[in-house]
Structures are given as C-alpha cells and as structure tokens.
A = this chain, B = another copy of it.
Amino acid sequence: MSKTFTALNPATGQSVGESIPEHSFEEVSAAIKAADKIKDKFAATSPAQRAALLNAIADSIEAKKDELAQISNLETALPIPRVTGEVMRTVIQIRAFADLVKTGGHLLPIIDLADPNYQPVARPDLRKSQQPLGVVSIFAASNFPLAFSVAGGDSASALAAGCPVVVKAHPSHPNTCQMVYHAVVKAITEQGLPKEIFTLVQGVNPEITHWLAKAPEVSAIGFTGSGMVGKLLIKLAQERPIPIPVYAEMGSLNPVFFTPAVLAEKSEELAKAALESALLGSGQFCTKPGIIVVPNDAAGDKFIASVQSYIADQKVPPLLNKGIASRFTDAISLISKAKSIKVLTGTTNSDGFGVTPTIFVVDWAEVKNHDALLEEHFGPTSVIIRAPYDQFLTIAKSMSGQLASAIHATAADNVKELVTALTQKAGRLIWNGFPTSVSVTAAQNHGGQWPASSSHTTSVGLDALFRFVRPVVYQNFPDHQLPAELQNANPYGIERVVNGVRSNKQIN
C-alpha cells in the first residue's frame, strides 16, 4: 500500500485532483535501472530520429495546451495567460533543441586526419565527438510548472543530448507534471522508442531526492530551486564513489543599479517598471530584482516615493505553496522589525496562500547589519538600497554571484568599471532593462557565479545541451567501427571540422 499526497490550490488552500501515489525506493531504483538499460539504444539514435522525437514531444504537449493551462492554473495560482504562454515556451524550447540536433550541432565532430609530418611527432587519425553522459536525474522547479518542470529546459536539453531522464515532479503541481509526462511518453512510444527514456517520480518524501542523487546509474543532475536543496544535491553527488556533475541554479538577487543621471531623467517611470519586475509572477522568478540600488539624492528619493505610491494598490496572486508563503511571511516580518529599514507595503491578498507585497528601503551603510537583506526571499519583495553614487562599485564588488544584473544609465554615464565588476559576478548583464524574462536563444546564458549557479554553464538556451555530453576521441579507428558522425562518408550530412576547416562533405 503506497502513500499518497494531494495537490493544493494556492488560491483556496483546497485539494486539486485525485490523491497521487508516492513512488517507493524500489520503484525509483527500478526506473533508473530501466533507463540505464536502454541508454545505449537511445544514444545511438540519429540526429534525424532525435529531432523527430523532440518535435513529437513538443506537438504532444502543445495538443494539451488548454488542459495544461487549466490544471497548472489550479495548482499554482499563476494566471491562465501566464501558464498558457509557458506551455508555448516549453514547446518552443523543445523545438529549438530539435533544430539544433537535426543539424548534428550537438555532436561537434572534430576530425584531424593522420599527418606523418605533424610536429613534434606524427599525428594519428583523431576523431572526436560529444557523447551523452547516460541517465540524468532532473528536479522540477515550483515556479515554472511547465518551462522548468517535467519537460522544461533541463529535460529537453538532456533528451536532446541523448540522455534518458528520470524527473522528480514538483509536489506543488503534481497533476500538471503527470499530464506532461503522459504527453511525453505518448510521443516517445509513437516514435518507436522505449518509454524507459523518460520516467516521472512523484512524492513529498524528502528521501526521494537522495535516491535520485545516489543511484549508481545516474550520471548527472539538473536542478532549479533553492540553495538549500541545491547544496544538498551537490554534497550527495560529491560523496558518491563516482562523483557526478550537478547543474544547479540556486537563485539570485539580480541587483539593478540606477545612476543619478538616469533617475534625474525619469525616476517615476523607472520606479514603476522596477516594481512591476519585482512583483511579476508574485515575485517568484529566480531573475527577480531582489536588490535595487539608487543614489541617495533627490532623484533617488523621488524613485522611492514613486514605488511607495505605486505599491499601495498592488495585489498579487497567492504564492505557489504553503511553505513558500510561510517562509516569505516569516522573512518579511523579521526584516520589518529593524528600525533602520523603511517598509513599503501593497494590498494584502487574503485568499489561500496570499501575502502582502513588501518593499524595503535601507541605506547602504546599514545593510551590513542585516544579513537577511542580502538573501533571496521568494515572493513579492525587493530591497531598495540608497547609496552615494561613488559607492556603487563597492556594492557591486561586495555582491555574491548572480544569475543576472542590470544597469540603468544614460549615454553620458561612465559605468565601465561597474560593468566590469558585474561581469565577474553575473552570467547575464542587462542595459536599461530588468532581469525578469529570459529569452530562449543560442546566445542566452542563464547561469552565473556561485551561489547563483553551481557551474559555469547555462540552463536556458541551446548551450544547455552541452552539460549532458562528454567528449570521446577515436584514434586510428577503422571507418565502420566509428560512430556515424565521424565516418568518412558523413552519413548524417552534418557540419564537421576536418583538419581545421568546417565542412559538411564526406572525406575521400
């Protein structure tokens, strides 16, 4: 008799859907072993087959667009237009990986033909390509019930790389997870591939995280969530007899800097835009501007006054689950007690897991006395730091690693040093904009220095795939023993680097 749990509607606190059976250790282990057993078969699929699979998954999810939007709205309280858009983002990012693998862009074949005159010694025939790591454990995030969940960026990039995926559903939206899972498996089986490529694990038992990290057949971990769980996963992964990489995105403060000159021009407009970014999705984005730095001058004060006036009638949807809501309330209540911190509040949402939007204002000199100000607080809050402009560089340098950071400045501002300092903290720098909204594209980078990210990789955009492959070089191999992408005939017709020159031709 297995344990069960039930999803809750954050807007009402009431149950959503049927009770969901929790997976046992034996079931999780069996799923991982089954995935390991078919990994070679999946790895051997051609670029065309892999692309067809991804496109079929995207189609299958898109076919459920409205049902997915409805169920995820019930489970997360995120508005219907937001979750509908998220279904499409999920589908589009899977198709982007399909386009990448179709061209062999995931294989990066490099061929150096034998050269008896090579220096300092003759060169053998060397042919390298990228091979999938094997079974990957992925953890769905609470705040993107589709785009960072069961078939989100981590799963899409791992499948594109040729890795079977075992994904832990997020217990805040298990019905959405289940519906996505069925859509994915339908596509896999229709493509004639083994359904063991993709397994969903459900449950609230914290031990499941340990099982997924410790199983010997697991080769890598993809995670988006809290620093606490991210660091636990890293520890578990490092303590294994064979350590494995953990690609963890663990949140960020995403500081936004406003120069005196830019605020002098349009402090009201920028205050409104900053507040909108901070409250977007009820402040539950890893790219939320958690720190806003303004000059301690008249324009800065006007910015703060504008925020105060705008926030008053701001009401946001309830938070994703009870835990997030109570951690938010506790943190806000604690920080609000400090005499040196000014508290600007919005309209309370009293439904379900609703909370009150709250912005703090503090002088830079006071920040060192309140560690909690420089911690991420998931929910509709941000900290406005008032500082002399000549302290902005010091503030930037004192920050820990960030996913993103933004600078608002005029064309005349000299912010070269500030940009350089932030480049060394963040993976993405935004000019005259806000860190929320992350475009899925080849140039994108969603990652940053520790503790925002556990590695120098991105979890959004095409480069996310390369987290799940490793290079292997074949020396002097007979042609028919090579993987197809390295054979002379170039049967996939993909672009390769042959003796330093890009070519999609065959080798004669």
Contact = CB atoms under 8 A, between A and B. Distances in A.
Interface of A: 40, 85, 88-89, 92, 110-112, 118-121, 123-124, 126-128, 131, 133-134, 234, 238, 242-243, 245, 400-401, 411, 415-416, 419-420, 423-424, 426-433, 437, 439, 441-445, 447, 449-451, 454-456, 458, 463, 469-478, 481, 497, 500, 502
A376 to B, nearest CB: 16
B445 A473 contact: yes
A425 to B, nearest CB: 10
A471 B456 contact: yes
21 contacts: A88-B119, A111-B443, A112-B444, A118-B441, A124-B433, A126-B443, A128-B445, A234-B238, A242-B451, A411-B478, A419-B481, A426-B472, A427-B473, A428-B473, A431-B477, A431-B481, A442-B497, A445-B472, A456-B469, A456-B471, A463-B471
A55 to B, nearest CB: 15
B120 A415 contact: no
Contacts of A424: 134
Copies in the complex: 2
Contacts of A429: 472-475, 477
A134 to B, nearest CB: 7
Nearest to A243: B450
Nearest to A473: B445
Contacts of A127: 443
A214 to B, nearest CB: 15
A458 to B, nearest CB: 6
Nearest to A426: B472
B481 A415 contact: yes
Nearest to A231: B243
A118 B439 contact: yes
B458 A428 contact: no
Contacts of A477: 429, 431
B433 A476 contact: yes
Nearest to A475: B430
Q: Which of A120, A416, A449, A476 gathers the greatest number of chain B CB atoms within 10 Å?
A: A120
B476 A431 contact: yes
Contacts of A472: 423, 426-429, 445
Contact of A126 (B441, B451, B473, B497): B441
Contacts of A469: 456
A245 B456 contact: yes
B92 A119 contact: yes
Given A444-B128, A472-B427, A475-B433, A120 B134 contact: no
A391 B279 CA distance: 62
A401 B242 contact: yes
B443 A110 contact: yes
Contacts of A128: 443-445
B481 A85 contact: no
Contacts of A430: 475-476
Nearest 3 Cβ contacts at the A-B interface: A456-B470, A445-B473, A126-B443
Given A85-B120, A112-B442, 13 more contacts: A89-B121, A92-B119, A112-B444, A245-B455, A423-B472, A429-B477, A430-B476, A431-B475, A431-B477, A443-B473, A447-B471, A456-B470, A456-B471
A6 to B, nearest CB: 31
Contacts of A500: 442
A411 B478 CA distance: 8
Contact of A242 (B238, B419, B432, B450): B450
Given A427-B472, A472-B428, A476-B432, A444 B126 contact: yes
Contacts of A433: 124, 475-476
Nearest to A130: B456
A309 to B, nearest CB: 28
A428 B481 contact: no
Contacts of A111: 443
B120 A431 contact: no
A222 to B, nearest CB: 15
A472 B426 CA distance: 7
A428 B242 contact: no
A92 B120 contact: yes
A134 B450 CA distance: 14
Contacts of A445: 128, 471-473
Q: Which of A92, A134, A443, A477 gathers the greatest number of chain B CB atoms within 10 Å?
A: A443
A119 B94 CA distance: 13
Contacts of A118: 439, 441
B245 A437 contact: no
Nearest to A500: B442
A61 to B, nearest CB: 13
A89 to B, nearest CB: 5
